[in-house]
Amino acid sequence: MSFMQDLKSGVLTDNPVFMQTIGLCPTLATTTSLSNAIGMGVAATVVLVASNIVISALRKFIPDKVRIAAFITIIAAFVTIIDLSLQAFIPSLAASLGLFLPLIVVNCIILGRAEAYASKNKVLPSAIDGIVMGLGFTFALVLMGFVRELLGAGTIGAGIIGEKGIQLISQPAVMMILPAGGFLAMGFIFAALQKIMAGKEDK
Amino acid sequence: MSEKKNGGFGEIANLIVVLGLITLICALLLGAVNQVTAPKIAENQKATRDAAMAEIIPGAEFTDLETTVAGDKTTPAITGVYEATVGGETVGYCVEVTPSGFGGTLTMIVGINADGTVAGAKVNSHGETPGLGAKSQSDWINQYAGMPADGSLAVTKDGGTVTPITGATITSRAVTLGVNTAANYVASLG
């Protein structure tokens, strides 16, 4: 498969969140604003690519019986490096992602890709798999973050375009940035995407 | 995966060596990263605190008194006390307190003037709900400035004068408790 096909598969037809429905916890929890969504997506993608590369390179060296323990150790090391680096260099992002940053360790997309792909394939394809899956995850987060920030806080891009972003709605529905709003946004986005995908297959 | 050694001591030794090596390399890597980032992180925290203190008591110089007070069930812990001086004269204190909010601990700086009023307060980090408790970082907190620093503050629901954040009474109570704790501590300094 070419990179573009991989990309289409990771972002649309085999999107980890919308199609494989894995990694839903961070998707619900960190998408209260566009800037959080992008931060979480990029951080998870970096961890995913790095852990895929290392796990793929070590796949013949790691005994089958302790592979999960070895994978988690490698993933945890990368997550901690990202966590410390963000705290040191982008403290505002680290503060808003809070606990969810260390929790990337248990993001099942990362362990899932290590187990299902990187442990069985060569380094380069594993790196590409990490990139496309990471982009797919980021795409899902950005979509959720955009919708929830717009409806729940009434802004677009707070923390990206200036401190407050662009205020569009003066009386936002605060519920959308609360946990219940996360489920609502996710449900509607799932439904819309399923509809679009189904329409494509019919043709 | 092909396994040459099947069962027995050889296989177990192999598992231990491989896992041990991976863990060792990860630990060394983390140690190296920590060496680089730890001073930077401490610097960032200090910068946030300094900015908050400069906003609460403008134009003053701050000296770290290097005091901490452990908390208990009713009073939150004090993690730092800073004396504010202008031209050598004490104009007040900034106290870093950590009351418990709705979603964990809030780290806040409370400024107390030498004349026994609250100079201001600022929440530096928190785990409150976005849109509700997180408003403790907005202009809402400015109402504390000028209130009496005698440890008697309470939200209107509890018969006091502090207007709580709508829908976030627990956060409002936590911030109020933080201000009271700081006030009581400064009062005890005499």
Please answer yes or no on whether A65 and B125 come within 8 Å at the CB atom. no
Element (DSSP H or E) covering residue B128: none
Q: Identify the residue with better confidence: A153 or B95.
A: B95
B 109-128: CB under 8 A from A: 125, 127
- Tens digits of per-residue pLDDT, B31-75? 999 999 999 988 988 888 888 888 888 888 888 888 888 888 888
- Tens digits of per-residue pLDDT, A52-91? 999 999 888 888 888 888 999 999 999 999 889 888 888 8
Task: Name the token pair of A90.
Answer: 């982008």
Non-local (6+) Cβ contacts of A80 within 8 A are A102, B30, B33
Measured between CA atoms, the residue of chain A closest to residue B107 is: A95
Q: How many CB atoms lie within 10 A of CB A179?
A: 12
The complex's ipTM?
A: 0.71
Boundaries of every domain in chain B = 53-188
**With a threshold of 0.80, does the pTM exceed it?**
no
**φ, ψ (nearest 5 deg) of residue A175:** -55, -30
Q: In this predicted structure, what is the pLDDT of residue B6?
A: 56
- Where residue A155 falls among pLDDT bands split at 50, 70, 90? confident
Res. B2: pLDDT tops 90: no
Does B130 lie at the interface with A, CB-CB under 8 angstroms? yes
Res. A51: pLDDT tops 70: yes
- Where residue B7 falls among pLDDT bands split at 50, 70, 90? low
Alpha carbon of A120: minimum distance to chain B alpha carbons (Å): 9
Cβ neighbours of B41 in A, within 8 Å: 84, 87-88, 91
Of A32, A70, A95, the CB nearest to B22: A70
| Cβ–Cβ under 8 Å, residues B184 and B175 | no
Please answer yes or no on whether A58 and B3 come within 8 Å at the CB atom. no
Average pLDDT, chain B: 87
Alpha carbon of A68: minimum distance to chain B alpha carbons (Å): 11
